[in-house]
Amino acid sequence: MTFDAKSYQKYEFFTIEEIEPGFIHVKYTNPKSLNAFTEQNWRDYGDILTRLDKEEDSQLILISSGVERSFSSGLNLKTAMEQIKSSNTTSEKEAIKQLYDHIIDFQNAVTVPTRINTPTIGILNGINYGLALDLASAFSIRIGVEGARFSIAEVNIGITADMGSLQRLPHIINNKSALYQHALLGDVFDVHEAYRLGYVSTVVKSVDEGIQLAKEWGEKIVGHPQWAIKGTKKCIQDQLDGVNHEAGLKQIADYNAVNITRNSMKL
């Protein structure tokens, strides 16, 4: 089945195009806010990735920014505060329940890349503050761009990061002392620190160079059987999510027994 890019045109600020069969590029371009996310934006983001994972030929998703100065400046705080103030709750208990449900919905959208079996590559340029780290920490592969800046910034506005970075980064960052340092200070660190910490795989000079590198990697990845790609993604993600080692071995034994048999019988 041919990928229908037109069916994704309804999402404001998002451009979705097929690089080659099975390899889809999602670009977020909201320059006025430096790619901050409103509620509609993050709901669209989760919906887009969920849909792409279900595409018949999906094998790899590339995520990048169309804004030169920023991958994402984080949550659009103005619209978020307006939404909280407009709440019609009449009791503390009701207000807590409403905010809890909202946080869970938000988390579900941000963590889609960890739940789908299609691997993702993210190109991180410019500003990467707060929500940006939550989003990118869910990617399979991260490419840093020269000049990119990062911050687990939530403590600076008096809250604890709640969209997944504090849950995922301990599995990613190779220096736990530095992770505590950056998370508790809410300071800004550069792309070379991100590379030293293991947050990004490599550093490139520009977004265009990052896209070119992702295309080179992607060409090789999508050359493999779809079931092998998605099985590899799922196995690694399961371990990051705490699936028991022995259970993981049994799951892959079953998965490979089914897929190898079915594909060998087609020959």
Q: pLDDT tens digit string along 96-116? A: 899 999 999 999 999 999 999
If one compares 91 and 19, the residue with the highest pLDDT of the two is: 19
pLDDT at position 267 over 70: no
Q: What is the pLDDT of residues 195-237, one digit of tens each?
A: 999 999 999 999 999 999 999 999 999 999 999 999 999 999 9
Which two tokens mark 50? Answer: 């969920």
Q: Output phi, psi for 112, to 5 deg.
A: -50, -45
Q: What is the pLDDT of residues 168-180, one digit of tens each?
A: 999 999 999 999 9
23 by Cβ neighbours in 10 Å (0-12 / 13-18 / 19+) ranks as: buried
pLDDT at position 82 over 90: no
Q: In the chain, where does DSSP find H-type helix?
A: 39-54, 77-85, 92-110, 112-115, 131-136, 165-172, 176-185, 191-196, 207-221, 226-240, 245-265
For the sheet containing 70-72, what is the strand order?
70-72, 127-129, 149-151, 189-190
pLDDT at position 193 over 90: yes
Q: What is the pLDDT of residue 250?
A: 97
d(CA 163, CA 130): 9
pLDDT at position 2 over 90: no
Cα dihedral 231→234→235→240 (10° resolution): 170
d(CA 104, CA 38): 16
Axis crossing angle, helix 226-240 with helix 245-265, rounded to the nearest 10: 170
CA 150, 155, 160, 163 torsion-angle sign: negative
Q: Output phi, psi for 24, to 5 deg.
A: -115, 140
pLDDT at position 1 over 70: no
What value does the mean pLDDT take over residues 257-267?
89
Axis crossing angle, helix 39-54 with helix 92-110, rounded to the nearest 10: 40
pLDDT at position 238 over 90: yes
Decide: 174 and 198 in contact? Cβ < 8 Å: yes
Which of the four pLDDT bands, split at 50, 70 and 90, describes residue 87?
A: low
Task: Give me the chain's average pLDDT, please.
Answer: 95
Which DSSP string corresponds to 140-192? SEEEEETT-EEE-GGGGGT----SSHHHHHHHH-S-HHHHHHHHHHT--EEHH
Q: What is the pLDDT of residues 40-53, one digit of tens each?
A: 999 999 999 999 99
CA angle at 77 for the pair 73 and 81, rounded to the nearest 5°: 170
% residues pLDDT > 90 (the chain) = 88
What value does the mean pLDDT take over residues 72-96?
80
pLDDT at position 88 over 70: no
% residues pLDDT > 70 (the chain) = 96
